[in-house]
Structure 1
Amino acid sequence: MQRRSFLAAAAAGLLPAAGKPKPNIVLILADDLGWSDIGCYGNKDIATPHLDRLATQGARFTQAYAACPVCSPTRASIMTGRYPVRTGVTDWIPGRKPDPKSPITTPLTARQLSLNERTIAECLKPAGYRSASIGKWHLGGEGFLPTDQGFDINIGGSHIGSPPPSGKLGSSYFGPFELPNLKAGPGESLTEKLTDAATSFIAQQKSNPYFVYLSHYTVHIPLQAREEDIDRYRARANGRYNPVYAAMRESMDQSVGRVMEAVEKSGAADNTLLMFFADNGGLRYEGKSPSAVTDNAPLRAGKGHLYEGGIREPLIIRYPGVVKAGTVIDTPVCSVDFLPTFAEMAGQKAADVDGVSLLPLLHGGQLRPRPLFWHYPHYSNQGGAPGSAIREGDWKLIEFHADGRRELFNLAEDPGEHRNLIRSQAKVADRLQAKLNRWRESTNAVMPARNPNADPAWPGFQLSGEEKPTPPQ
């Protein structure tokens, strides 16, 4: 932190007071949970009482973004405060193989988060924090696990991005299964076991400040829940939603409630920041499956897409004494902002990051206006096309790499991204394009290359979630 920023933060009361214990930090990360999947974001069908209560006790962000529409890159951005393009983790690990006949050849993603990157745990360690990574890691395997990246404890984190195999079955949320430092017997729930580990860790912390990264596999496919829970939702779904997915959302909400209770029982709730977020938008369609998993309406598309449904996330932060209960924050923020926020809370310096501290917003202030960027040069398993995007103010520009088309939206007037204003607002589009180009150059973004072996009749991947181009206006 520069001296001027440090003095300003101290004057505003944003830094830990002398003699006061440093705040604990709990980050709960959901997997593939959509922006409108929970009650306080407008869902009328699924009850999420614990998340809704968390929002009434803290701040609910309406325009919070993941740094990528798929998981591993966003997770890398959370850990480092840097855009995925800088870490090299630009697709889910290990990524989708390029098609030899497609118009462009897409680059490969890094297979792990480099040990040269400075994680949240490594940033907080000099301030005396004890850090636990509990749940999905998906940023590398042996030699690149959480305990290789500054965490004191790793429970359940490995190279895999889906629930582990159970016996002779495939990926499953129910035991028997085994993950690092976590075993489950027949029928035991992965979501519940991870929550057990998190609440136990919180209860054991008596002196040191701590950081808990509870990274759930829920609600990632496969869609699985207990039959009695599915039956309750099936009885009243009437085709409005998937009852299995609804039951999975309930298990996620119950986990949040249990963590809230553990923090309160610890006696340190008044000095603990509790944050809830998701790694990318809700999954609409996976591969060629004709069945939709969730609906991100009013936002467009979902996981794997640079449209709002793929990158806008629920973000709730409770921080007693700092965040006014029931606050709603409309300022656009991004997952790269988490590390700088936690670092400032702990009185540490966040060096070489793209994000900014959110503490001014949490205190009721403002952030300096800035653009947000995305670079996803890959075809996604959900039908998303390679592209880059920039949001500045209410304007958002998406540039698609395969055919060079551009789509421009005014999100204040058209949050569903139905009206492509690329013709009528050409000057706005050109201004944003110039900024996007400069950003890609400054970050050495790897771009797809034209494929000399492309088949002019290539039909595409023919995935269920492929979006049609938005006609220009």
Structure 2
Amino acid sequence: MAYFNSWRKPSLIVFACLLCFLSSSAARAEKRSPNFVFFLVDDMGYMDIGANNPDTFYETPNIDALAASGIRFTNGYAANPVCSPTRYSIMTGKHPSRVDATNFFSGARAGRFRPAVLNDRMPVSEVTMAEALKEAGYQTAFLGKWHLGPTQEFWPENQGFDFNVGGQHRGHPKSYFSPYSNPKLSDGPKGEHLTARLTNEATRLIGEMKDEPFLLYMAYYTVHTPLQAPKDLVEKYRRKAESVESDLEEFAPEEQVFPNSKNKRLVRQVQKHATYAAMVETLDDSVGRILNQLKELNLEEDTIICFTSDNGGLSTSEGSPTSNLPLRGGKGWLYEGGIREPFLIRWPGVTKPGTTSDVPVVSTDFYPTMLDMAGIEPKPQQHVDGRSLAPLIKDGTPPERDAIFWHYPHYSNQGGIPGAAVRMGNFKLIERFEDGRCHLYDLSADIGEQNDLAADMPDKVDAMKARLHAWYKDVDAKFLRPLKDGGPEPWRPE
């Protein structure tokens, strides 16, 4: 008995110490802020992923698995139908119209009128998502497409990111194969693939940052033009395209702002572009590689994943590689095909796998949502247009707002009209800036925006137009200008 008691006492002490160690380890783990991996894809349409479109021509098993493991928003939007403004909205949580960053940075095409004035840089005075997280102790890394300023003073390393791999002024790569001619990305072996290279760099940085909370902002150049992909994958989808059958013509007429152009804009109706499909696969494979690495490093449960695109799929120019049907239009349009995006969030321990939400959300919401998830209090005037989606994700409480707005006072390269739009509930109003005409659609019954209800519901038009015009004043929105001094004046809101 004496022997038993003498053995038992040290054992109890050891056991107590072990409990203390485990408790302190659990406390440390509990205190650690979540990591963030933010996937931003260039030009990916809502209907390009299987999670949103089971009949898609493209193969996206890793993105679909991500959607199935978290929450998928079926009414997720970009703040603008082209890239730079949406990127600004994500980084700042503000609508790009507040600083006149309303087109891709360098877009100055004129039509019947001159476009609105364009600010071609994200002010360094903005407190970006990266700066807010860095101030809270995060390591921050940016990879891929930046397109938020013409010179290095406006690039990621001066906007809150510790690392910048590939982020510069250009909106697309000169080539998806090395040499890249990118001042922020050294060339690899000749023929190295850009999407894979950026993923290699991402996995390296995750390995370096894994011991402390981090933000990895993975802004792939893919699937933007030039349309290039590994030859074996292109051949795979060329063979697959041969078996595609559809009752629709591959291309169809679409409204355009260049009625006298010799090159009439046609909209793609059938997904079967082999090179684009191959580009989507390289993207999906890269997403899978990063998610797998998080799992292998035991970071999966500590890392929140966000996935979205900067505008709708390219369907009417530069090869017209994808179809957004049943959504109308595409990149450069205020129709749903130009602004509705893949919009996925996985918050381990919070998001119930396979959840979907039809609450309208927008790219400005990511910033406040991520700060909320990390327990960081926003500063005054920070992300003033975004709303945290954390309550919606936790218990279904929608964000407090009555409308979502879009403002595009430009002639898009893809043929889209200069105008603005507002969504209130299931109704969406589009206002044209050349002449002030309005169109009204009920998205719950007409997601393809084919049935204009403006003439039948004048009171609804007036109410939504009044709300939109009040918003113009709030953000100091700018509008079209005469084509030349003394020329015809474009429409202006009252």
TM-score, normalised via structure 2 length: 0.84
Once residues 71 and 330 of structure 1 are traced to their aligned partners in structure 2, the CA distance between those partners, rounded to angstroms, is: 24
User: Does 2:118 match 1:109?
Assistant: yes
Once residues 161 and 102 of structure 2 are traced to their aligned partners in structure 1, the CA distance between those partners, rounded to angstroms, is: 23
Given candidates 185, 189, 195, the residue that maps to 1:185 is: 189
Q: Secondary structure at the match of 1:207?
A: coil
Q: Secondary structure at the match of 1:374?
A: strand
Alignment partner, residue 211 of structure 1: 215
Contact 2:41 2:308 in 1 (8 A): yes
Residue identity opposite 1:89 in structure 2: A
Alignment partner, residue 177 of structure 2: 174
Once residues 185 and 230 of structure 2 are traced to their aligned partners in structure 1, the CA distance between those partners, rounded to angstroms, is: 24
Once residues 105 and 28 of structure 2 are traced to their aligned partners in structure 1, the CA distance between those partners, rounded to angstroms, is: 41
Alignment partner, residue 167 of structure 1: none
Runs of 4+ in structure 1 deviating by more than 3 angstroms, as ranges, are 16-19, 450-456
255-264 or 204-213: which moved more? 204-213
Q: How many residues align?
A: 428
Alignment partner, residue 248 of structure 2: none
Pick closer, same or farther for the CA change 1:450–1:199 going to 2, 3 Å.
same
Once residues 403 and 388 of structure 1 are traced to their aligned partners in structure 2, the CA distance between those partners, rounded to angstroms, is: 12
Alignment partner, residue 89 of structure 2: 77
Once residues 34 and 273 of structure 2 are traced to their aligned partners in structure 1, the CA distance between those partners, rounded to angstroms, is: 39
Once residues 41 and 443 of structure 1 are traced to their aligned partners in structure 2, the CA distance between those partners, rounded to angstroms, is: 33
Once residues 311 and 17 of structure 1 are traced to their aligned partners in structure 2, the CA distance between those partners, rounded to angstroms, is: 41
Given candidates 396, 402, 413, the residue that maps to 2:445 is: 413
Deviations 1:363-394 (A, max 9, x none): 13221342000110000000011101100100
Alignment partner, residue 379 of structure 1: 411
What is the deviation of 1:18? Answer: 9.8
Contact 1:155 1:182 in 2 (8 A): no
User: Does 2:401 match 1:398?
Assistant: no
Alignment partner, residue 332 of structure 1: 360
* Structure possessing the higher radius of gyration over alpha carbons: 2
Contact 1:337 1:356 in 2 (8 A): yes
Given candidates 427, 430, 453, the residue that maps to 2:459 is: 427
Given candidates 126, 129, 134, the residue that maps to 2:143 is: 134
Contact 1:224 1:248 in 2 (8 A): yes
362-371 or 253-262: which moved more? 362-371
User: Does 2:220 match 1:227?
Assistant: no
Contact 2:109 2:413 in 1 (8 A): no
Alignment partner, residue 305 of structure 1: 333
Gaps of 5+ in 1: 1-15, 164-170, 457-473
Alignment partner, residue 436 of structure 1: 468
What is the deviation of 1:142? Answer: 1.6
Once residues 234 and 394 of structure 2 are traced to their aligned partners in structure 1, the CA distance between those partners, rounded to angstroms, is: 41
Alignment partner, residue 267 of structure 2: none
What is the deviation of 1:199? Answer: 1.2
Once residues 71 and 43 of structure 1 are traced to their aligned partners in structure 2, the CA distance between those partners, rounded to angstroms, is: 26
Q: What root-mean-square deviation, in Å, do the aligned CA atoms of Structure 1 and Structure 2 show?
A: 1.8
What is the deviation of 1:206? Answer: 3.3
Alignment partner, residue 366 of structure 1: 397
What is the deviation of 1:88? Answer: 2.3
Contact 1:202 1:266 in 2 (8 A): no
107-116 or 218-227: which moved more? 107-116
Deviations 1:173-206 (A, max 9, x none): 0011242143222110110111111111112223
What is the deviation of 1:43? Answer: 4.2
Alignment partner, residue 157 of structure 1: 167
Alignment partner, residue 240 of structure 2: 236
Deviations 1:45-64 (A, max 9, x none): 22211011111111111000
Deviations 1:22-45 (A, max 9, x none): 000110110000000011111422
Once residues 132 and 92 of structure 1 are traced to their aligned partners in structure 2, the CA distance between those partners, rounded to angstroms, is: 23
Structure whose residues are more often helix by fraction: 2
TM-score, normalised via structure 1 length: 0.87
What is the deviation of 1:406? Answer: 0.7
Residue identity opposite 1:263 in structure 2: L
Give identity over the alignment, percent.
Answer: 45
